[in-house]
Structure 1
Amino acid sequence: MLAALFFSYLCGLLLAPFLASDAVPTALPFFMALCWFPLRRHRIGLATLLLFMTLCGVLLYHLHLTPVDNQEAISALFKSEKIHLHGRVVAAVPREGEGLRIDLDQISTSAAVAIPGRVRLYVRKKGAAILAGEEVQVLTRLRPPRNFGIPGEFDMERYLARRKIVAVGHIDSSQNIARFVTTPSLTYRLSRFRQRMAETIDTVAPVNTAPLVKALLLGQKESLPQALRQKIAAAGLSHLFAISGLHFATLSLLLYMLLRSLYTLSERALLFAPPRRILPPLTLPFLVLYLLFTGTALSAQRALLMLTIALILFFHRRRTRPFSLLTAAAFLLLLLDPLALYEPSLQLSLAGVAGILAFNPCCRPYLPRQSLLRGASLLFCTTFAATLPTLPLILHHFHLFAPAGLLLNLVAVPLVAMLALPLGLAGILIAPFWPAMTEVAIGGCGHILSTVLSLTETTLSLPILAERYLFLTLSDQLFLAVLVVSFLFATSKNVKMLMAIPISLAVLYLIPSMVPQQPLSLTALSVGQGDATLLQLGSDHFLIDSGGFRNSRFDSGERLIVPALARLGVRKLEGVILSHDHPDHAGGLPFLLKHFPINHFYAATPARKLTNHLGEILQEQNIPFSELSAGWSSTTDSSGATLAFFVPDQGHPNKNERSVAVYAGVDSHGLLLTGDLGAPGIEQLLASKIPGPVDLLKIPHHGSRFSPLIPLLERLKPQQTFVSAGYDNPYSLPHPTRVKAIKKAGLPLWRTDLQGSLEFTFKDRNWLTRQWNKSLFR
């Protein structure tokens, strides 16, 4: 029954993102509960109860997604300039480099408006340590959390809503933060102790592994340098540096040994009850303190809940199946925190434990009897059992396949679990009483991790074990997930389930081929203040530009473009077309060219003159390059679809004026993409012979007032227009004069800054327009 209720509740949480917030009236679940009570002894009563849990999942998801009610007051703050915020720090997390992330609660403002939620502040350069529990005052400009509105992106709005964050701001330095003396709270004392431990680790651990020690013992994964984080992920060792059940099992064992040594000193205590009966529950308060100390990671919460339920059952002399224990912990956690289901850390934690519980019992009868071989074989089976069910999730969230993981875990897990982690945790436990020994223990932990890191670097240098990026389509991911489940249930005696598995695999394999191909469609990807457009001609896909940000480490290719292509079912690109070599158009190309199948690359600039080493990357990846010549050049496929490129004068000093324009058409209908052309480029374009009619027009240069629009509208007479621009961009694009001109012409203007990604499909001799909303084009 518990599993059925949990599954129904999960279905509600999974359906909720696709439904409007008012899709389920608040009273409906209560009505279903009332209907269940008189029907509880009948079969329909069970169905009513399961439907009730599904509706609860939908309702709780949306209630937690909108954590505050006073939205109007908060919206007014977004329109103002910088304001003073006074609040209490609930989290202060070091970031890579010199950055810092601060979450504030109990906030009052200089605008006399109390913010009913939390504010996240990103500090570019940290100075003196800011600790949780302190009261601070800052001057900043607030902005609402906002997604790009592109398929496949990380849902930042949901991520922040789970943490009750309603606004974000930026500060140049922590020196600009005023701090106030307050009565030390438990949160402040734990934060101060954590800071002391971090300073000790920086002092005694080897420089190259100090960040790993802090991640392992303190949960400070965000401070890991990007290169080190990628190396650990490529080795398949990230799970070792997340606070999880391994930490709580080790810590509880250390605490039990310490308490037992004290307990056995009392003869009266031994006569009262044996140590194993009394001491395990006494470790719980210390484990809760460690959870708070390390930042309450979801994997840690799951582990502590399972341990707590197990101890309660043990104390009452009750037994339960491990799967029931996992289900109960997950159910309770998601009832209290529904949005946690969409956190990768919880998904990976639950999947890994479920895989071990499902696979290991089947393997044990076949393991060697010799103790050393049996231990090594059991470790390999456990690693394989945890890796297999997490593989689809890792590919979904991180698109990374780490073949070295199975091999490295055989050595890294014993070193970390049996040596580094116990040493480090023991050092933390004795820190208040024996600082000198703490330094020795943490130093030893650091040296062990240095050995693990050296082994990792050596293993990853082997080409066969190097990491690989895999961007699977949604149907491919579902196919892989069903394949993994079928393997885990290979020993099941349920014949119907075993028969359903190959049928499901066949359906998932055939679904993509059953979807009809449209002759012409265009997707304007919302990539901020940049440009990226996906063009589909029959079964061929072309990408025009890839977005990008000036002076930013945010890689639009890795974070936006390639995930969007996979989410939209694109397995390869027939061609990539670069309109012009500016960061907001070419910034995502390096990652795209390295990690996604591409048949051809087109540009008007010679390959050797392209920035970001694009020419070298094209050569390394063996991607054919075509330098487009001046004027129009076009191709026509067997279906009659036309793809043409217009190259203006390449001698102009402004790269915008050298933008390549792209025309695509079918059946006397077409679209025109004008890049960032200004007055000279538009004049040349209009003077040329455009290959066909234009029904859909992309407004040039993000709607800039310096790009002539009226001549384009008068000459081409489009039916629809769209513009690619970033939300609240500093250039105020599209310019109001351009918006007004399009409105005066009686044409619809679609905007990526306001409506997110846009899909234009030519169907039945008309353009069907849809926008990305709630995980679908609608």
Structure 2
Amino acid sequence: MIVTIFFVGLEKDNNQTNLLAEEQSFLIELDPNKLKIDGDQLQFYGRVKESGEKVNLSEKIVVFYRLSTEAEKNSWEKQRKVEDFIVTGSLSKPEKNRNLNQFDYQSYLHQNKIHWTLQAETIDTRSEIQKNFFFDKLNLKNIRQAILAHIEKETTVMVSSYIKTLLFADTSSIDDQVMNGYKQIGIIHLLSISGLHIQFFIAGLTYILWRIGVTREKTYLFLLFFLPIYGSLTYWGTSIFRAIVMSLISQTSSRLGKPISGLDAWSWTLIIGLWIDPYQIFSIGFQLSYLLSLTLILFSNSLFNQSKFNSVNSLCISFILTLISIPILSFHFFEFSWLGMFTNLIFVPLFTWIIMPLIIVLFISSYPLSGTQCFHFLISVTEGLLRIIEWLVLKIKLFPYGTFVTGKVPTGLFILVIVVLIIFLIALEEQKKIKRSIILLTLVFTVFIYYQKYNPFGEVLLIDVGQGDAILIKEPFGAGVYLIDTGGTIAFEKEEWQIRKNQSTVASRVLIPIIKSLGLTQLDQVFITHGDEDHMGELKELAQNIEVKELIFPVGTTKKQLFHDVAQTLERNETQLRAITAENTKKQLFGPSLAVLWPVKAGEGGNNDSLVLYGEIGSYYWLFTGDIEEAGEAELAAFYPNLRVDILKVAHHGSQTSTSEQFIQQMKPKIALISCGLNNRYNHPNGEVLERMADLNTIVYRTDLQGSFRYTYSNRLSGMIEKDFQTILK
């Protein structure tokens, strides 16, 4: 423990940057295995070797570069060797988390010892550097690239993607939809090089060596030499490191005549891993790999070996491992799939006894049998099986209620679940008080799953979606969930080669994770204020992942073709559509008791036709204005001269075309919310608009400066709320 604490402290002290923000020229070593090209976007993790007058550096960095021509893209796609490049550009600190429960990119990079991102302007090869040809060829990174290139050349796209994934931990070429399917049905671990793969590989290799007459001593020496090389070729993923080191520790102790238990081998592997990199303890891969392997070791001779039927034991193993993984999965992803306890029974034997042997045989035979009919037959058989597997995965994925969304649960409840799980496992192992432990486990898990959904506190969340609008309203005790606008990115025309296949969207990156983090799987009503893309652009993707019961929008919005097409898609998926105006909904309330104030007649779906909603939420009166402009504001103010407004969602991101002097003087809001992108091209919010609110002493919250805004309230437990208003960035 003392030594481990020493290494942790040393690693923490050394996790500092040697670069300065003003530096603009760098010598960076690029590893082609960490190079990603998608459309006109190039990204890679490199190592800074020199910067200005600083030499002999070795600091990791993330580089982003916009490709200018298709020829340049083709040139980068042929990059196969580790090389040094002179890169000019500007450094910036990784962006902090700007939304509630959003993935913290800055923290992730810090844990990987990366302190800067570099937006490159030019990248040039440093051709004058003379490299030793022999050592260049022996570089394991270059060998890995050569192997991957050989696999791509000799096999089909699908087969090569699985060979690279299962043997070399390269998942980049498997289709995202398929990968998501594996994840949703609880078998994503089969596409990672896990302990199962390594043990199978070691057992198979040992068996072959023994069968051809190699002695046990020489087999051990061969594995001692070969396994570290293989681990390096796969970049020493967590499960790979654990399986290889555990195996070598066990075999070495046996060779020395002092065999140790599997638990001791596991413990030493864990300790050595933490000495090498303490930060990996934050990784979900690390947590699952060591926890599940520990469970297998602890219960292999008791709980997992109680029946004389292997199928019953397999079901027990799958059930327990799925149960054990639930707290970790819900902590990181706010959801878990229970299908894994059954799908593993199908897919684990399939991958272990059919797919893995075929993949290994194909890889080994790709060198001597390349181009032969026998080799092509093996490829055809393997591809046929893989297509059947992917078809089955996507079909099972459609099974309803296969995933439970827990949201982000309180720490106390999280700890309680872990304690109850331990009690349940002890009861099963000792065969005592099983019924009581099952009842206790069921009760605690029910609270764990539904606590966030039926949270006694309500909230209004102004989500930071960049240059757009998205406002989530959740009533106490799950009484209703509503979304006003979805945000969206305005798309610009690009050539085919520039279009990104794995484009990060506001919906996938921000909107959907936030909604799930609140334990929500459906939205009762989604309001689209008008047809501009920055207000409805994410609607389609949102509806594909979160059930939308009713879509409400102003009459005339469907004249915008993009919105019309999306609305039709939602209607086919049984979402109720409702076009409204203030005139035809005079005595109706929507969402959490919101009245429609504007528009009074059908429009064209533009800014001045925006849906304006007003009502009391918690202790305040709110006015949500969409992108209504000055002319519309004047009419609205004339219609409602005595409107009480405590909190105003400022129209059109604070543009000078809205929030006129007359309007703001009449409304006199205590708080103003402005949703706008950081350093946006429109210079929103406008300085004059900010001055008008400053004159009224209105408190202004801006997403570009403070991230998302959160208002928490309760109709019954108001005394328990420490702070009504919060922002993510202070």
TM-score (norm 2): 0.80
Between the aligned partners of 1:747 and 1:685, the Cα distance in structure 2 is 20
Equivalent of residue 178 in structure 1, options 102, 125, 133: 125
User: Is the CA contact (8 Å cut-off) linking 1:132 and 1:187 kept in structure 2?
Assistant: no
**1:267-666 equivalence runs, <5 A:** 275-277=215-217, 279-280=219-220, 282-358=222-298, 360-361=300-301, 362-368=303-309, 374=310, 381-394=316-329, 397=332, 409-410=344-345, 412-422=347-357, 424-425=359-360, 434=368, 436=370, 444=378, 447-448=381-382, 450-458=384-392, 460-461=394-395, 465=399, 468=402, 470-475=404-409, 478=414, 488-493=425-430, 506=443, 512=451, 517=456, 521-538=459-476, 539-551=479-491, 553-570=503-520, 572-605=522-555, 611=563, 613-630=565-582, 633=585, 642-648=593-599, 655-665=606-616
Deviation at 1:757, TM superposition (A): 1.9
Q: Which amino acid aligns with 2:145?
A: Q
Deviation at 1:675, TM superposition (A): 1.7
User: Is the CA contact (8 Å cut-off) linking 2:424 and 2:441 kept in structure 1?
Assistant: no
- Partner of 1:86 in structure 2? 27
- Partner of 1:758 in structure 2? 709
- Structure 1 unmatched ranges of 5 or more: 6-32, 34-48, 78-82, 265-274, 369-373
**1:102-181 equivalence runs, <5 A:** 102-109=44-51, 117-122=59-64, 125=73, 127-128=75-76, 129-131=78-80, 133-169=82-118, 177-180=124-127, 181=129
The 1:106–1:641 alpha-carbon spacing in structure 2 relative to 1, beyond 3 Å, is closer
For 2:429, what is the secondary structure of its paired residue? coil
Report Cα offsets for 1:465-517 as digits up to 9, x if no partner: 57955432234994876776565444233979997885576467568499984
Deviation at 1:629, TM superposition (A): 0.9
Between the aligned partners of 1:113 and 1:754, the Cα distance in structure 2 is 36
For 2:627, what is the secondary structure of its paired residue? coil
Between the aligned partners of 1:708 and 1:215, the Cα distance in structure 2 is 55
Deviation at 1:286, TM superposition (A): 1.9
Between the aligned partners of 1:333 and 1:744, the Cα distance in structure 2 is 59
Q: Which amino acid aligns with 2:131?
A: T
Deviation at 1:60, TM superposition (A): 8.2
Between the aligned partners of 2:137 and 2:115, the Cα distance in structure 1 is 22
- Partner of 1:270 in structure 2? none
For 1:534, what is the secondary structure of its paired residue? strand
User: Is the CA contact (8 Å cut-off) linking 1:94 and 1:223 kept in structure 2?
Assistant: no
User: Is the CA contact (8 Å cut-off) linking 1:544 and 1:578 kept in structure 2?
Assistant: yes
The 1:513–1:339 alpha-carbon spacing in structure 2 relative to 1, beyond 3 Å, is closer
Between the aligned partners of 1:668 and 1:106, the Cα distance in structure 2 is 54
Report Cα offsets for 1:330-388 as digits up to 9, x if no partner: 344235433323323223323432443455432324133xxxxx4x6665555445444
User: Is the CA contact (8 Å cut-off) linking 2:47 and 2:59 kept in structure 1?
Assistant: yes
Equivalent of residue 209 in structure 1, options 144, 148, 159: 159
Deviation at 1:199, TM superposition (A): 2.3
User: Is the CA contact (8 Å cut-off) linking 1:630 and 1:646 kept in structure 2?
Assistant: yes
The 1:586–1:573 alpha-carbon spacing in structure 2 relative to 1, beyond 3 Å, is same
- Partner of 2:726 in structure 1? 770
Report Cα offsets for 1:170-215 as digits up to 9, x if no partner: 569xx95425354255797322222222222222323333222221
The 1:462–1:131 alpha-carbon spacing in structure 2 relative to 1, beyond 3 Å, is closer
For 2:568, what is the secondary structure of its paired residue? helix
Between the aligned partners of 1:396 and 1:167, the Cα distance in structure 2 is 27
User: Is the CA contact (8 Å cut-off) linking 2:452 and 2:518 kept in structure 1?
Assistant: no
Report Cα offsets for 1:151-172 as digits up to 9, x if no partner: 2322222222222222334569
- Partner of 2:497 in structure 1? none
User: Is the CA contact (8 Å cut-off) linking 2:184 and 2:403 kept in structure 1?
Assistant: no
Deviation at 1:650, TM superposition (A): 6.5
The 1:139–1:487 alpha-carbon spacing in structure 2 relative to 1, beyond 3 Å, is same
Deviation at 1:603, TM superposition (A): 1.2
Between the aligned partners of 2:15 and 2:584, the Cα distance in structure 1 is 54
Deviation at 1:749, TM superposition (A): 1.9
Between the aligned partners of 1:112 and 1:716, the Cα distance in structure 2 is 58
User: Is the CA contact (8 Å cut-off) linking 2:589 and 2:596 kept in structure 1?
Assistant: no
User: Is the CA contact (8 Å cut-off) linking 2:712 and 2:725 kept in structure 1?
Assistant: yes
Bigger drift between 572-581 and 186-195 goes to 186-195
User: Is the CA contact (8 Å cut-off) linking 1:531 and 1:724 kept in structure 2?
Assistant: yes
User: Is the CA contact (8 Å cut-off) linking 1:206 and 1:446 kept in structure 2?
Assistant: no
- Partner of 1:226 in structure 2? 176
Between the aligned partners of 1:573 and 1:690, the Cα distance in structure 2 is 33
The 1:499–1:332 alpha-carbon spacing in structure 2 relative to 1, beyond 3 Å, is farther
Between the aligned partners of 1:691 and 1:496, the Cα distance in structure 2 is 66
Deviation at 1:667, TM superposition (A): 8.3
Between the aligned partners of 1:582 and 1:603, the Cα distance in structure 2 is 12
For 1:417, what is the secondary structure of its paired residue? helix
**Alignment of 1:67 onto 2:15:** yes
Bigger drift between 734-743 and 303-312 goes to 734-743
User: Is the CA contact (8 Å cut-off) linking 2:710 and 2:725 kept in structure 1?
Assistant: yes
Between the aligned partners of 2:298 and 2:579, the Cα distance in structure 1 is 56
Between the aligned partners of 1:513 and 1:471, the Cα distance in structure 2 is 9
The 1:464–1:223 alpha-carbon spacing in structure 2 relative to 1, beyond 3 Å, is closer
User: Is the CA contact (8 Å cut-off) linking 1:593 and 1:621 kept in structure 2?
Assistant: no
Between the aligned partners of 2:407 and 2:454, the Cα distance in structure 1 is 14
User: Is the CA contact (8 Å cut-off) linking 1:628 and 1:647 kept in structure 2?
Assistant: no
Between the aligned partners of 2:707 and 2:383, the Cα distance in structure 1 is 45
Equivalent of residue 717 in structure 1, options 663, 668, 678: 668
User: Is the CA contact (8 Å cut-off) linking 2:655 and 2:689 kept in structure 1?
Assistant: yes
> Once superposed, what is the RMSD of the aligned Cα atoms?
4.5
- Structure 2 unmatched ranges of 5 or more: 68-72, 492-499
Between the aligned partners of 1:399 and 1:214, the Cα distance in structure 2 is 30
User: Is the CA contact (8 Å cut-off) linking 1:663 and 1:691 kept in structure 2?
Assistant: no
User: Is the CA contact (8 Å cut-off) linking 1:198 and 1:214 kept in structure 2?
Assistant: yes
Q: Which amino acid aligns with 1:198?
A: L
Report sequence identity in percent. Answer: 21
The 1:498–1:710 alpha-carbon spacing in structure 2 relative to 1, beyond 3 Å, is farther
Deviation at 1:697, TM superposition (A): 1.8
Bigger drift between 748-757 and 419-428 goes to 419-428
For 2:563, what is the secondary structure of its paired residue? coil
Between the aligned partners of 1:445 and 1:402, the Cα distance in structure 2 is 33
For 2:428, what is the secondary structure of its paired residue? coil
Between the aligned partners of 2:514 and 2:263, the Cα distance in structure 1 is 36
Q: Which amino acid aligns with 2:473?
A: L
Bigger drift between 548-557 and 421-430 goes to 421-430
Report Cα offsets for 1:375-410 as digits up to 9, x if no partner: x66655554454443355445545676677566545
Between the aligned partners of 2:408 and 2:460, the Cα distance in structure 1 is 20
Between the aligned partners of 1:187 and 1:323, the Cα distance in structure 2 is 40
Between the aligned partners of 1:492 and 1:701, the Cα distance in structure 2 is 62
**1:724-735 equivalence runs, <5 A:** 724-735=675-686
Bigger drift between 496-505 and 144-153 goes to 496-505
Between the aligned partners of 1:197 and 1:111, the Cα distance in structure 2 is 37
Report Cα offsets for 1:683-717 as digits up to 9, x if no partner: 33323317841122222222223323433331111
